Amino acid sequence: MNTSELEAALVDALHDLAAQAERSVRPVLTSAREDLAHATPKQRPRRRQIALIGGICVGAALTATVIAIVVTAKHRDRTIVSAPPETTTSPSTSSAASTTAATTSATSPPRSIPSPPAPWDPNTTPTTTVAGDKLVVLGQTSDGATVVQVFDLTKNAWTGPQTVPILPAGVLTDNGPGAWTGTEVVYAGASFDPGLLQWKVQSGFDPDPNFQLWWATWTGREVVFLPGGKAYDPATDTWRVIAGTPLDLRGSNPAWTGAHIDIRDGSGTWWAYSPADDSWVALPVGGPTDGAQSAAAWDGTSLVVVAPTLSTYVYVSSTKQWGRVEGSPMPSCDSALHASVSGELVVVAGTGCGASSWVGGIWTHFEIGEARAECLTQIDTTRLFDACASRVLPIETIEPLSAPTDSTSKTNASGTTVPVPRVVPVEPSIVATIPVTDGRSAIASAGGRIWVGSQTGAEIVGIDPASNTVVAHIARANTVAMAIDGNSVLDACSNTDIAVIDPHTGTVTKTLPYGCFSGLTFDDHGDLWIESGIRLTELDASGTVLGTVPISRGGWGVAFKRMRSRVASASTCPVRSSGSSAVRNSFPPEPRWVATAWSPPTPAFGSPPNNPAR
Amino acid sequence: MLHVARIQSVRARLLVDMGDVAAGTGQAEDLTRPTFDAFFEDGWPRMAGLAALLVGDTALGAEIAQDVFGQVYRRWESIQNPDVYVKAAIRNEARSRLRRMSRHRLVPLEGQHAPASSDRAQQSVVRIDVQRALAILSPSHHEVIILRYYAGLSDSEIATATGMRLGTVKSRLHRALTALEKELT
């Protein structure tokens, strides 16, 4: 199969898969919509314990399973309190300021940028680094030569191409970002002096293919590479590993504040990395949390963040507060953003994947070997001008946002009480690895411990994540599922019964005569749902059966998903694309059940176990 | 050339989803904002399908879509461009789930590939082989393959959608195709 045939086959195969998936979920469209209808804006808080339920979707023939226990330090449930009003800016200043911004922008229209002297190989991507008022562009030409071409933003002219010595294979990570230190461009693996056209291979760099290179930030002493979590000191030619870098740092570009690197992770949490302390601190809640990537820049006193779909945010370090400017400047621009600072203004432009610079009033963006002026937006804390759309955005005010309730407060020199951000552990890290044998396994968090059991094991173990040690053993064979109720009581289910366990003492307080095949969970009403392979059974807190519903087919790896207010669902492992859902349309005293199921295939599922309780 | 038409169709749809004015459709202005019900009716199965592709699990894809649409439902009035929001949120949620689950395999869904003729049978065999071969890809390679060959995005559009650098997109696509070719030979 050649490449074109493979590509055609991929298109067909993926569309078939997607069509199958769409067909599979359509039968539950109505119930899904109904579910949302009951999800009011003031929903009950999510039950954190559910997050660790599951993990039981293990293949039937699984042997020597190893469970890596990951402790996550999410802080989604943080609520916020009102913030002091001093960061509010009067709307009356907005109009005049906006006019000023518009005038400023009008004096700096995008300009035409000449093409580079040597065209780049269209199959490769040159790496562009902003070096003061120059752009150092390193890449391959169509004849295979590695050259550097430099664009002088003040002269609007190129120099080069100049042939660059070829580095030994594996020295330099491909297509990684570089950072300008004032004398050289530091990439991961080697540093390049554009004046001397010389490479300097760095000592001690491990070209790990899994080293993630998204951002390179010069702190004045080191170049910090994120999210890979390594820093290079060009003065000493040494590398160091940064402590506990959050895993996913693609929520924004990093902004160097002079003391910290501020950056957002994929979940929306903002972090500040201090090279001096080698520590990460979560910033208070209040910045953008939507899914799209945002742009961040430090304007000397504040972190200014532009979220493309919602708003512009300002984080004032001195008060540890977020503010929001209503209105997004970016709807007409590209969604991938970069931000820079010019004078008092933070300049944000929609860009692709190249490098951007704001020099001499001109926003310049380079991409795939071409230089072109992009739409630009100028922002400060009171004004927005969308140059892409040639309009001044309506400015309401900077709306002071919140600080987390779990932060402490302190009084500053002026007598103002300001919140202090909570220092949280860096997430996530593996704290224990537990080997289990054949069959399904279950994991849950209760009583400050991580509980792990398995179908073929003889006990449930409790792990203290702080000390990374097993601190409890409960004799309990054949554990296929666990769930935690609202009082942090652990329920562990085997094929024949359910043990109710006090996680603080590690003792079984009672047993319920209902066996699971592989699914067990509590819903938002505190009712326990049991999956036996052939039916779902719902029990209330007293153990009374509220209702049952047949399911079309259980199977290996059947697991409950997180319950919502009115929907319980059971679905199978991805290896078996069948499933069922049960929708309870009314609550006791007269439960009424509607079972929907989409057609299961006909593979040989494991036989549901006997369930003597019924 | 069916696949070309398919790509163009999905691509056009997704470009509108992404609010790409450059798509030339003019629909990105979205002057007639749909009701949530209409938005849900049209978008939920499609987004569930995309999520299923990204995580390799139909049920999980549906749950991801449900979670994302739940967010949209609660914030419907304040979300300026729900298409953009949903698109990005689906991708991020899929990544998040995969990271938490520490697994990522596009497992062939159980399809009914009835071989009506030898040609169709052969096509089905190839298709199933390709679906199975996809399961060997790493998460990052899997993602770019889906965005390219299902969503029909260009290299730069993938870079924009994922936040990856363009060079990274190209190299990952190349490596993913190489791995698939190797797996299928």
Print the SS3 string covering A143-194.
CCCEEEEEEECCCCEEEEEEECCCCCCCCCCCCCCCEECCCCEECCCEEEEC
Phi-psi region of A433 (alpha: psi -120 to 50; beta: other; left: phi over 0): beta
- Identify the top-confidence range among A284-298, A402-416, A532-546, B113-127: A532-546
Residue A293: pLDDT band (50, 70, 90) is low
Q: Is the CB of residue A459 less than 8 Å from the CB of residue A474?
A: yes
Rounded Cα–Cα distance for residues A219 and A221 (Å): 5
Which chain A residues have a beta carbon less than 8 Å from that of B33?
Answer: none
Q: Is the peptide bond before A119 cis (omega within 30 degrees of 0)?
A: no
Asked if B163 and A336 come within 8 Å (Cβ–Cβ), the reply is yes
Residue A477 has pLDDT above 80, yes or no: yes
Cβ neighbours of A301 (radius 10 Å): 12
Is A214 in Cβ contact with B163 (below 8 Å)?
Answer: yes
pLDDT, average across residues A462-481: 79
Q: First CA to last CA across chain A, in angstroms?
A: 55
pLDDT over 90 percentage in chain A: 4
With beta carbons less than 8 A apart as the criterion, state whether B128 and B138 touch: no
Which pairs from A306-311 meet CB under 8 Å and 24+ separation?
A306/A330, A306/A337, A306/A339, A306/A348, A306/A377, A306/A379, A308/A333, A308/A335, A308/A337, A308/A350, A308/B84, A309/B79, A309/B80, A309/B81, A309/B84, A309/B85, A309/B88, A310/B78, A310/B79, A310/B80
**CA angle at residue A231 from A225 to A235, to 5 degrees?**
130
Please answer whether residues A364 and A375 qualify as being in contact, where contact means their C-beta atoms are separated by less than 8 angstroms. Answer: no
Residue A361 distance to chain B (closest CA, Å): 25
Is A493 in contact with A480 (CB distance < 8 Å)? Answer: yes
Confidence of residue A450 (pLDDT cuts 50, 70, 90): confident
Highest-scoring range by mean pLDDT, A160-164, A282-286, A311-315, A549-553: A160-164
Check CB contact under 8 Å for B146 and A174: no
Q: Length of chain B, please?
A: 185
Q: Under 8 Å CB-to-CB from A104, ≥6 apart: which residues?
A: A345, A378, A385
Residues of B in contact with A19 (CB under 8 A): 49
A302 has which bridge partners?
A316
Residue A22: its chain B contacts at CB < 8 A? 45-46, 48-49
Tell me the per-residue pLDDT of A488-503, one tens digit each, with 9 for 90 and over.
788 998 888 999 999 8
Helices assigned H by DSSP within chain B: 2-17, 36-55, 58-74, 82-101, 118-134, 139-149, 155-162, 166-184
Enumerate residues 594 to 613 of chain A having a beta carbon within 8 A of any beta carbon in chain B. 601, 603
CB-based contacts of A542, cutoff 8 Å, min separation 6: none
Nearest by Cα to A484 from A443, A524, A513, A521: A521
Q: What is the pLDDT of residue A250?
A: 66
- How many CB contacts within 8 angstroms connect chain A with chain B? 232
> Which among B164, B166, B172, B175 is the top mutation candidate for probing chain A, defined by the most A β-carbons within 10 Å of its own β-carbon?
B166
d(CA B172, CA B143): 9
Asked if residue B18 lies in contact with residue B10, where contact means CB atoms within 8 angstroms, the answer is no
Averaged pLDDT for residues A33-44: 51
Q: What is the pLDDT of residue A124?
A: 67
d(CA A48, CA A75): 10
Average pLDDT of chain A to the nearest whole number: 61
Q: Residue B95: which of B69, B64, B73 has the closest Cα?
A: B64
User: In what order do the strands lie in the sheet containing A179-180?
Assistant: A179-180, A185-186, A190-193, A198-201
The values of phi and psi at residue A482, to 5°, are: -135, 155
pLDDT grade for A237, boundaries at 50, 70 and 90:
very high
pTM: 0.41
- Nearest CA to A446 out of A485, A494, A479 is that of A485
Listed residue (A272, A268, A353, A349) closest to A308, CA to CA: A349
Q: How far apart are CA A574 and CA A82, in angstroms?
A: 45
A104-156 pLDDT, tens digit per residue, is: 332 334 445 677 788 877 666 677 777 777 778 888 887 878 888 887 767 77
Q: How many CA atoms lie less than 13 Å away from A372 in the CB half-sphere?
A: 10
Give pLDDT, residue A498: 92
Distance CA A459, CA A448 (A): 19
CB pair distance less than 8 Å for A127 and B167: yes
Most confident of A383-392, A594-603, B24-33: A383-392
Whether A85 shows a pLDDT value over 50: the answer reads: no
Name the residue facing B145 among A10, A125, A352 (closest C-beta).
A10
Closest by CA to A301, choosing from A313, A288, A315, A312, is A315
Whole-angstrom Cα distance, residue A72 to residue A354? Answer: 33
Q: Quick check: A370 contacting B, CB < 8 Å?
A: no
Question: Residue A10: its chain B contacts at CB < 8 A?
Answer: 130, 134, 145, 149, 180
Q: Two tokens at B90?
A: 């689906």
Q: Is the pLDDT of residue A222 over 90?
A: yes
Chain A from 253 to 312: CB within 8 A of any B CB: 266-267, 290-293, 308-310
The per-residue pLDDT for A232 is 93
Confidence class for position A13, pLDDT limits 50, 70, 90:
confident
Question: What was the pLDDT predicted at A499?
Answer: 93
**What is the pLDDT averaged over residues A272-278?**
86
Strand order in the sheet with A459-464: A441-446, A449-454, A459-464, A469-475
Q: Do B58 and A579 touch (CB under 8 A)?
A: yes
Q: What is the pLDDT of residue A427?
A: 33
Q: B5-19 burial by CB neighbour count: b if 16+ within 10 A, else e?
A: ebbeebbbbbbbbbb
In whole angstroms, what separates CA A101 from the centre of its chain? 34
Closest Cα of chain A to B160: distance in Å? Answer: 6
Contact B101 A7 (CB under 8 A): no
* Structure tokens, A438: 């054949």
Q: How far is B94 from chain A (nearest CA, A)?
A: 11
* Closest residue by Cα to residue A314 from A218, A395, A219: A395
- The one-letter amino acid code at B46 reads R
**Cβ of A73 under 8 Å from any chain B Cβ?**
no
Q: Do A175 and B171 touch (CB under 8 A)?
A: yes
Whether residue A47 has pLDDT greater than 50: no
DSSP string, A352-412: -SSEEEEETTEEEEEETTEEEE--EEEE-SS-EEETTTTEEPP---EEE--EETTSEEEE-
* Contact across the interface for B58 and A574, Cβ inside 8 Å: yes
| Contact residues, chain B, for A45 at CB < 8 Å | none
Contact between B63 and A19 using a beta-carbon 8 Å cutoff: no
* Confidence at residue A366, expressed as pLDDT on a 0 to 100 scale: 57
Residue A557 above 80 pLDDT?
no
Say if residue A273's pLDDT is above 70: yes
Q: In this complex, do B160 and A328 lie within 8 Å of one another by their Cβ atoms?
A: no
> Which residue did the predictor score with more confidence, A445 or A308?
A445
- Contact in structure between A239 and A204 (CB atoms under 8 Å): yes
Q: Which of A1, A11, A338, A565 to mutate to test the interface with B (most CBs of B within 10 A)?
A: A11
State whether residue A156 sits within 8 Å of chain B by CB: no
Averages of pLDDT over each 10 residues, chain B, 185 residues: 40 40 33 75 84 77 83 77 77 70 39 36 55 73 82 76 77 86 79
In which band, very low, low, confident or very high, does the pLDDT at A465 lie, cut at 50, 70 and 90? low
- Hey, what are B85's tokens? 């929001």
Chain B residues in contact with A17 (beta carbon < 8 A): 52-53, 106, 108-109, 111, 131
Predicted pLDDT of residue B159: 77
Nearest CA in chain B to A252: B163
Reply yes or no on whether the pLDDT at A15 is more than 70: yes
When pLDDT is averaged across residues A327-350 and rounded to a whole number, the result is: 48
Beta bridge partners of A262: A255, A272
Question: Are the beta carbons of B49 and A353 separated by less than 8 Å?
Answer: no
Query: Which two three-digit tokens encode residue A290?
Result: 């939507």
Tokens standing for A414? 């002026």
Structure tokens that stand for A5 in this block? 């045939």
Cα A441 from Cα A557, distance rounded (Å): 10
pLDDT attached to residue B62: 80
Hey, which residues 471-510 in chain A have their CB within 8 Å of chain B? none
**Number of alpha carbons in the 13 Å side-chain half-sphere of residue A3:** 7
Query: Which of B109, B150, B169, B174 to probe by mutation at the A interface, max A CB count within 10 Å?
Result: B109
Chain A residue closest in CA terms to B91: A291
ipTM value for the complex: 0.70
Q: Where are the beta strands (DSSP E) in A294-352?
A: 295-298, 302-306, 312-316, 321-325, 337-342, 345-350
Closest chain A residue to the Cα of B145, Cα to Cα: A10
CB contact residues (below 8 A), chain A span 202-261, against chain B? 214, 247-248, 250
Q: Report d(CA B62, CA B44) in Å as an integer.
A: 8
Q: Calculate mean pLDDT across residues A187-214.
A: 81
CA closest to A175 among chain B residues: B167
Query: Tokens 């402790």 label which residue?
Result: A71
In terms of average pLDDT, the best of A15-24, A239-248, A281-290, A491-500 is: A491-500
Looking at CA atoms only, how far is residue A320 from chain B in angstroms?
A: 25
* Chain A residue nearest residue B113, CA to CA: A16
